[in-house]
Amino acid sequence: MASDDNARLRILLSHWVEHNEEHAGEFAEWARKAKAGGRAPVHDHMMEAVKQMKAANQSLLAALEGLKEG
């Protein structure tokens, strides 16, 4: 991969992780509101999405580390 592409991918991966964290926080906030409104199943599905978003971030961070290693 060209060094320009490598640098761009580092920036993109960092951005995507940050963006996902923001969304996961919003999901969790609205999940709590759903639960407070008597929508426990909605809460549970949304919290599953939060869990999956965190797992995606783990993979993106591993990819970022792979770029740093070589």
List the domain boundaries for the chain: 40-70
Quote the tokens at residue 6: 């490598």
pTM check: above 0.85: yes
Alpha-carbon 21 to chain mean position? 5
Long-range interactions of 45-52: CB distance < 8 A, separation 24+: 49/24, 50/24
> Residue 70 above 70 pLDDT?
no
Reported as a single tens digit per residue, the pLDDT across 8-48 is 999 999 999 999 999 999 999 999 999 999 999 999 999 99
Using CA atoms, how far apart are residues 21 and 52, in angstroms rounded to an integer? Answer: 11
